Amino acid sequence: MKRMIHKPGILLPGLRVNATGWFTAVAGITWLGMAACEALAGWQPASNVTLRAGLTVQELYDDNVYILDTAPAPGVTAPQGLTVGQARLASWVTSVTPSATVAWEPWDLFRLSASYAPEFQWFHNAPSEDHVAHRATLSVGGHRDRFVWDWRHQWLGIDGSHLGPVTLRPGDCRAIGGIPLRDRRDAVVYRTQWRATVPVDGGFVRPVAALYVHDFRTDQRPNAEPSRYLYDNFIDRWDAQGGLDVGWPVEQKGHFLIGYRFGHQHQGELLGKESPYSNDYHRFLVGFEGVPASWLKLAVLAGPDVRDWDEPPAAFRQSELLYWVDATVTLLPTARDTITLRAVRYEQPAFTSHSVYEDILYHASWHHRFTESLTVAVSLSLYIGDWQAPAMREDWIYTPGVVARYRLDEHWEVECSYSHDTAVNRVSTRLAPYAEGREYNRNRVGVSVRYSY
């Protein structure tokens, strides 16, 4: 059964309602971060140890905190005690992120690095969204000649509300489940990847393994009156896989690859009911890694997914051919310009319903370095969630954005950013009556100052 106990966490109640307390907390965290950086500056570690510290303070304006454009029907309400999303609610958002990184390299065949960066966020007009995101990483690895190995770990612990978002009808669960809302609530996420590249003649053999675990710590509650309101229940999921890549050299410009993965995806219970969508999968891959030209870098891997499902519903498209893609193309037209094209596509269990969907991302960015201090990046992404029947959902999110960074000196950097989201429903409202309530538009403008040592 899901946890139904409220964990108060580390967000002080005074920060939610008291402006003086909020300002004191921001100032206090900022002062501690600066003091830690100065302390590290005066300490001399061993020659094979590197220490870095930083502090980032950001002020951001979000014109649609609950990513909701649809106003509720007249007279529609939700039970007391739940956090109801408000249409087009705008708020300033303050975030403070101290960070610390340590790296140790005693010899070539072994290196270690670890980092920790808690991000404190306050939503001035929406205290239900206040949270702390604890991010930590640990990487070990090394190399000798052409042999390379690495093992990476990433942890994300979100200390936020224990309640899922609530939307009044005719609103609906947002496009692709409302990821910004999800990522402000109690959860633990763990990812790990291991691989070793073993040289064989001019090519290589590369065994790989990976694990992803998403443990939602929010309450699950029944939607007793779905025509009046919707409570978003979040469902645990995990994915474990392992396999092998084999690479052959191509004229000193890279390697042609073939690969195979075997894995298992698990979707957790929803209100005590087991999911029928857990599955085993076989993934067959081909690709290329290398530098065909001085201005072109390729890292492309793609192929079909063959799935073995756990007794899905009769209407489920079991025979659908699925594809897995992870491709990055980097163009270097000049010494000051970098163009990156990225495509990602894979199937995974949903996190708000017992269903599965293809998670698809197309992203393009252009970075231009005007001077040694000033860099500007322009980007455009299309994020698609394409559900398999019997689920009636296909969501597209378009996101253009721009970021400008200016380095004042070796320690200080200023960043200005803007992004716009347009979420579009791609299914008929005749089949899904509330589907238009998934759509939204959002603008975010931010300024941040970063100090590092």
What pLDDT, in 10s, does the model give residues 354-403? Answer: 999 999 999 999 999 999 999 999 999 999 999 999 999 999 999 999 99
The model's confidence at residue 18, banded by pLDDT at 50, 70 and 90, is: very low
DSSP letters along 124-180, please? TT-GGG-EEEEEEEEEEEEEETTEEEEEEEEEEEEE-BSS--EEETT--SPGGG-HH
Cross-strand bridge partners of residue 369: 375
Distance of CA 216 to the CA centre of its chain: 15
Nearest residue to 11 via CA among 21, 117, 234, 179? 21
Whether 4 maps to a domain, the answer reads no
pLDDT for the residue 46: 67
| pLDDT of the residue at 9 | 40
How many Å apart are CA 438 and CA 172, to the nearest integer? 5
Residue 345, in any domain of the structure: yes
Here the CATH number for the domain that contains residue 400 is 2.40.170
- The answer to whether position 145 is within a domain reads yes
In a domain, 358, yes or no: yes
**Rounded Cα gap, residues 149 and 141, in angstroms:** 5
Prior bond of 170 cis (ω within 30°): yes
Mean pLDDT computed over 322-339: 97
- Residue 118 sits at φ, ψ, to 5 deg, of -80, 130
Is 5 a member of any domain? no
Say how many Å lie between the first and final Cα of the chain, rounded.
46
Please, are residues 217 and 244 in contact by the beta-carbon 8 Å criterion? no
Mode of pairing for the β-strands spanning 187-200 and 229-231: unpaired
Stated pTM of the model: 0.90
C-beta of residue 64 within 8 angstroms of C-beta of residue 125: no
- Let me know if residue 432 belongs to a domain: yes
Calpha distance 435→231 (Å, rounded) = 15
20, amino acid identity: T
- Per the structure, how many domains does the chain have? 1
Identity of residue 23: F
Instruction: Taking the CA atoms of 74, 76, 80 and 86 in sequence, report the sign of the dihedral they define.
Output: negative
For 411-436, the pLDDT digits (tens) are 999 999 999 999 999 999 999 999 99
Which residues sit opposite 444 in a β-bridge?
Answer: 62, 419
Domain that holds residue 245: 13-452
Indicate if the pLDDT at residue 3 is higher than 50.
no
Confidence category of residue 39, pLDDT binned at 50, 70, 90: low
Q: For 109-138, what is the mean pLDDT?
A: 98
**How many Å apart are CA 411 and CA 316, to the nearest integer?**
55
Whether the predicted pLDDT of 220 surpasses 70? yes
CA dihedral of 182, 185, 187, 190, whole degrees rounded to 10? 60
Number of Cβ within 10 Å of residue 450's Cβ equals: 19
Q: Give yes or no for residue 21 having a pLDDT over 90.
A: no
pLDDT band at 38 (very low <50, low <70, confident <90, very high): low
Q: Mean pLDDT for the chain?
A: 92
Judge whether 153 lies within some domain: yes
DSSP state of 437: G
- Residue 8 in domain: no
Digit-coded pLDDT (tens) for 221-248: 999 999 999 999 999 999 999 999 999 9
Report how far apart, in Å, the C-alpha atoms of 154 and of each of 44, 117, 138 are. 28, 12, 7
Lowest mean pLDDT among 79-88, 108-117, 204-213, 403-412: 79-88
